[in-house]
Structure formats: C-alpha cells, structure tokens
Structure 1
Amino acid sequence: MTAQKFIPAGYEQLPESGQFTWSAPSNIALVKYWGKKPGQIPANPSVSFTLNHCKTVTTLAFTKKQTDGRFSFDLLFEGQPKEDFKPKIQKFFERIESYMPFLKDYHFKIDTRNTFPHSSGIASSASGMAALAVNLMGLERLIFPEMTDAYFNQKASFLARLGSGSACRSVKGQVVVWGENQAVAGSSDEYGVEFPHPIHENFKRYQDTILLVDKGEKQVSSTVGHDLMHGHPFAERRFAQAHENLAKIASVLQNGDLESFVEIVESEALTLHAMMLTSRPYFILMKPNTLEIINKIWKFRSETKIPVCFTLDAGANVHVLYPENDTEKVLQFIKEELVAYCQNGQYICDEIGNGSAFLSN
C-alpha cells in the first residue's frame, strides 16, 4: 500500500524548537470530486486549477516538550484564538500520527490567515490544510534532511488529503489530478499529482474572477454533501461521468480546444449542484443571483464568441474562467453587468498559480 512509504524510519534526535511560514493556495475543480470512501478516498477522480492569490498563510512554531501522550497546540486565526477550529486540527493530528510519530513530542503554535473570506465557497479548508501539511513537512525535513523535494510534495499532499480531501490538490502544480484515472499516468487516490503533460498556450495564466454572491457560511458543509452520495440514486452514473470527463479534459488541456473546455467545465459545475438537488435530504446551493450571473455569461459568450465560462463549488459563488488575452473585455463585462449581483459588489481577480510556497523560518 502506498501509505506505508510515508511512515518514517526511526529517528535519533529531534530539533528543540523552530518556526516556519508557508502559504498554500485554494484550487478550483474543473472535474468535481463529490462523494468519498472511508479514509478520505475519493469516489471519483478530479482535476483542478491551482489559484494564485486566494491562499492561506500559516506560521507553525514548534517547541519540544515532555511527552505526555497528548497532542498540544494553540491555534490563532487572523491573530485571534479560534476554538471552533481546534477539533478539526485535533482530528487531523489523530489521522496523521502514524505518518508523523513525533507530533506528540511538540507543542505547536499555529497562526493562520486567509487572503479571502473563510467558509464562503472558496475552499478555505483546502488551502488551510495544505498550508499546515507543508509546514509539518518542513519539520519532518529537519529530522530527515536527506528528504527529496518530490517526496516532500507527495507526502504533503497525502497528509493534506487526510485533513480535507481537495487540499491534496493545493500543494504543487498548476493543474493537479487527484484520483486514479487511466488517462493520467501516475494518478492516485491517495495524493494529488501534477498534470503530467504540457499545458496548451490557451491555458497559460488562465484567469479566474470569483464573484462573491454570498460571503456567509455555506448552507451545508462539504462533509455532509459528500455523505449524501452514499445511496444517491444517480451516484454510480455520476462517478462514471467524472472518469469520462477527466479523460476528455486531459486531452483538451493539451490541444487547447476552448469550446470543449467550456462545455465540460460548465456541465461538471451543474452536475455537482444536480447531485445536491436530487439527494435526500436535498439542498439548493445556488442563490437567485447565481442563476442571473450564469444566464448573463451565456448571453455574453453567445454575442461576443469570447470563450468565457463559469464553474461553481458547493455554494453560491461563481468562478468566471477565461483566457488571459480576453481579460480586458471580460473584466469590463464583469464590472458593467455582473458586479451588481455580488454581495456588496465584491469580487476577487485570480489566475493559475503554482501551489504552496515557503516564505520564511
């Protein structure tokens, strides 16, 4: 089993203390992961664009302590204690302890902040868990300095997945695949892999403008949403569709077919929401303004022939995707016609990024 290789050999000496700061971005899935098996294993494969500006910046300070058989950590979110985050970190440590057996030897101070609104459908758990995972791997690399970058990134993705499934797609790479699929060599259910082929020029510096239709807490958590796929009447066909769409988009990303890209990405977004509409219990995750924006995008694309499209995560906010060379016209369209549907007129301009980044120690 792949996981065995992430259990470290015995270690003789641990560093007394230290501190790292890493950032990790959010990502936006093009082919959606929805539904999971035990152990944070995806029910279907997914592929995502890594974002550049929407990210979590986390500082991890660690001090060696007397081993007392407990995890020990303080958590600050944007400079303030955040008690309601702590159970998730506790569960994360419990899940990864066998792969990082030195965790109970330290007291940690985790100081984290987002560059975007938390819990508003911009995958803050993905960036947050990825940022924590790469910080912890920084500590492990102090213990095992011979560690390669490839192992560092692969294990960080593996660990991040155990905190939040989609977090494994936020560690390394512009386009990241998670979940075994025959079209992508080396793909795995246990960690994300960089798309192994050159990306067509059409997708270089691809733009993602995120329209904040609703900045509030999500109506239903991703965990609950994934669980609703168990026994869902359309689940098996959906999982098969995701495999088919991932194979199609793998070709599109190489050949630059923007028309097919638009069709696959929008279909995937609407399918995700269709799964929630037809689950038991059922949920409507869009807001009226979400639908207004979608219709405006369709009308604009029809009239201008500009290959702009939308995608959605499990919420009301709209990601507007478009090639860099169309930025001026699309942003003018967004400002003139779409901003009116955003909460307080707010939106975020982003683009493809490269993954996590070491900032300081």
Structure 2
Amino acid sequence: MEEIFYSNTNYDITSLEVAASCPSNIALIKYWGKYPNQIPANPSISYTLSACRSDTTIKFDAGKEFSVKTFLGGEQRSDFSKKIENYFRSLSLYLPWIDKGSYLIHTDNTFPHSSGIASSASGFGALSKCLMAMDQSFGEQISAEACLRKASFLARLGSGSACRSLYDGLVVWGETPHVKGSSDLYGVEYDINKVHPIFRSFNDWVLLIHEGEKSVSSTVGHGLMKSNPYAKTRFEEARNNFVPLTRILREGAMKDFIALVEHEALTLHAMMMVSAPAFILMKTQTLEAINRVWNFREQTGLPLFFTLDAGANLHLLFPHGPEEASIIEFIENGLLELAQNRHVVKDKMIF
C-alpha cells in the first residue's frame, strides 16, 4: 500500500545541490492506458537502456518561497517548470519538506526529447533519485533497497513508465501473478535466474526517423484508451502475454520472443489508430524500415527485429554475438538512409 512510503521523520532541511542520472527504457510488453493516480491498466515489462539517459541537477534553497525553475538542455522551459511544480506538490504526503524552498533544475538528455524514446521515464527517474538523495540528506533513514523502491514509486507519480527505469535489466511494472513481488505502485526487477543467457546481452539501435515533437503526447494517448472500443481486449491480451513470455525468457526461444515483441509494438500503434479521434505516430519511413527488417530476417534467418515506443522511431533489437556484424552491416547500408539525417542512437542493455 502507498502508506509504506509515508514519512514521519523530523527533517533538518538545509540548502544543497544534488545530481543524478537515469536511463530510459523500452517496453517489450507495452503499457498503454491507465487508471487515476498513475495505476497501469495492464502489467508491462521493459529493458533498461544504457546510452539514452537524463542527467539532472537540483539546486535547493531552503527557506525560500516555494518555486521551480527548470532548464532543459540549457533552455529555460516555463511549461516544464509548471509541470514539475505541480508534481512536487503532489508528493507532500511522501516528502513533507518538498515545498520548503525553491528549486533550480537543470536536465540534459543524451537523445532527442519527445520523439518516441521515453524521455519522461529517464527524466522523472533522475528527478526521483535526486529527491531521495535530498530526503536522506535531510534525515530520512531507510535501506538502499527501500530508497530505490521509494524512488521508483515517486517516479511513477510523474510518469508511469519511469518507475521501470530505476532498475537494470528486465523490469516489471504492474501486478501479475507470473512475477513474484510485482506491483502497480513501483517497478521490480525480473529474476535474472529465470532469464536465458541469450536475452541478457542485447543491442538496441534506435533509428531516429523523426527527431521532433510527437503530434500527440503519450498523456493524451493514454487518455484516449478510456473510450477505445478495443481497450478491454488489449488489456487482457497484455496480461495474458506474460504467460508465454516467462517461458520464452526461461528457454531462450528467440523466434517466439521476436514474434511476441513485434506483435506488442504493432498492437500499441493499432490502439492509436482505432482511438477516437484516431492518430498515427509512425511515419512512411517507419513502415518501410519494418518491411526491410522483415525481408532481411526472412532472407538471412538472422535475429534482427524491432519494437516501437509511442513515436515514429524504430528500436532495432539484436543480440550480441557472432551474427551481429552482419546485422550491423545491414542496418548501416539498408536502413540508415531512412533515418532523419541518417541518425541512429546505438544503445544496449546488459545485465
């Protein structure tokens, strides 16, 4: 229950500066649709990335009038300042000192903002780490494990998928009987002992087909699931997909893994297309890249496949190993021309 994150500590609040970094993540079973207070309509599981990160610094002036000033990539953003100010106010039950001073926040991403890589996940993940560093500096005494879990809980209140970014490897968010300890309130690490070695070391090259702002935000997209006629079926399918996934991860069934991950990605975007109003975040180049990946895999049998976040950019997934040189050659010669300015983010997940 949320009560476990309440605090009765007598804080010694002082001015300070803290910094934290947090990676983004890419979901394999997707979360799309939520209930009030950032509760997911279905469980999800993601890989935590390495290179796609947010680096955040908070300068806190104790005793000043509560205010938030936010800089993103060196540019002052009043819209983000208001969003973070409202977010901080919502945390007063869990961080009673949150409004006892002013904040100067600087955040930099290593990847394009709002373009289908989860910048909100890494951003709120880094922010929640900073807040927990402040909490402990002011006198909160909890274990490292409890601190990380509370950070995941706080991150969720800012951006649902952010709670998964606090952990490495495969991370589950949303209660499911197939993952022990799973919760709607925070992310939990998937047991590495139940993951075949082939899934523990993966490349994720993000083909940046569109580097600008999305035409429809994820917040709006989640809201449209409330009236989506296929929402109930979608939520049930996502819950049921944990059954084959646990077997796939245990056995190392790569072909089944590819089929499930690609199906989940396309289902996410299908939900957008049947919303009211309907919207499409994929671009022509996204569809062309998908067809080229399918043709390459059919011709070579090599394990190159894709997933998509809520955007146009294609996450190209392929395992480390002797086959990756041929896959990289195809990406560079057969797919890069589809990316805006031939840009690709070379990321990976290893655990």
TM-score normalised to structure 1 length = 0.94
In the alignment, structure 1 residue 337 sits paired with structure 2 residue 334: yes
Partner in structure 1 of residue 12 of structure 2: 13
Higher relative contact order, structure no. (Cα contacts within 8 Å, ≥ 6 residues apart): 1
The one-letter code of the counterpart of 1:6 is F
**RMSD over aligned Cα atoms:** 1.3
Given candidates 126, 129, 132, the residue that maps to 1:137 is 132
1:171-203 per-position Cα deviation (integer Å, ceiling 9, x unaligned): 112111000011000000011111124222101
Alignment of 1:52-201 (within 5 A): 52-66=50-64, 71-144=66-139, 146-198=141-193, 199-201=195-197
Query: What's the offset of the Cα at 1:276?
Result: 0.8
Unaligned runs of 5+ in 2: none
State the alpha-carbon separation in 2 of the partners of residues 140 and 44 from structure 1: 31
State the alpha-carbon separation in 1 of the partners of residues 9 and 164 from structure 2: 29
Partner in structure 2 of residue 3 of structure 1: 2
Alignment of 1:292-303 (within 5 A): 292-303=288-299
Q: Is the 8 A contact 1:72 1:108 kept in 2?
A: yes
The one-letter code of the counterpart of 2:22 is A
Q: Percent identity?
A: 46
Query: What's the offset of the Cα at 1:248?
Result: 1.8
Partner in structure 2 of residue 357 of structure 1: none
With over 3 angstroms needed to count, the CA separation of the structure-2 counterparts of 1:341 and 1:12, relative to structure 1, is closer
Partner in structure 1 of residue 215 of structure 2: 219
State the alpha-carbon separation in 2 of the partners of residues 250 and 8 from structure 1: 36
Query: What's the offset of the Cα at 1:12?
Result: 4.6
State the alpha-carbon separation in 1 of the partners of residues 53 and 74 from structure 2: 16
Query: What's the offset of the Cα at 1:353?
Result: 5.4
Unaligned runs of 5+ in 1: 355-361
Given candidates 297, 309, 312, the residue that maps to 2:308 is 312
Query: What's the offset of the Cα at 1:323?
Result: 0.4
In the alignment, structure 1 residue 265 sits paired with structure 2 residue 261: yes
Q: Is the 8 A contact 1:197 1:254 kept in 2?
A: no
Query: What's the offset of the Cα at 1:302?
Result: 0.9
Helix, strand or coil: the match of 1:176?
strand
1:302-333 per-position Cα deviation (integer Å, ceiling 9, x unaligned): 11111111001111100000101132111111
Helix, strand or coil: the match of 1:315?
coil
TM-score normalised to structure 2 length = 0.97
Q: Could you list the structure 1 runs, at least 4 aligned residues long, displaced by more than 4 angstroms after superposition.
A: none
Q: Is the 8 A contact 1:75 1:109 kept in 2?
A: yes
State the alpha-carbon separation in 1 of the partners of residues 307 and 217 from structure 2: 18
Equivalent residue pairs, number: 349
Query: What's the offset of the Cα at 1:54?
Result: 0.2
Helix, strand or coil: the match of 1:96?
coil
State the alpha-carbon separation in 2 of the partners of residues 144 and 261 from structure 1: 46
1:245-296 per-position Cα deviation (integer Å, ceiling 9, x unaligned): 1232222222211111100000000000111111110011111110100000
Partner in structure 1 of residue 272 of structure 2: 276
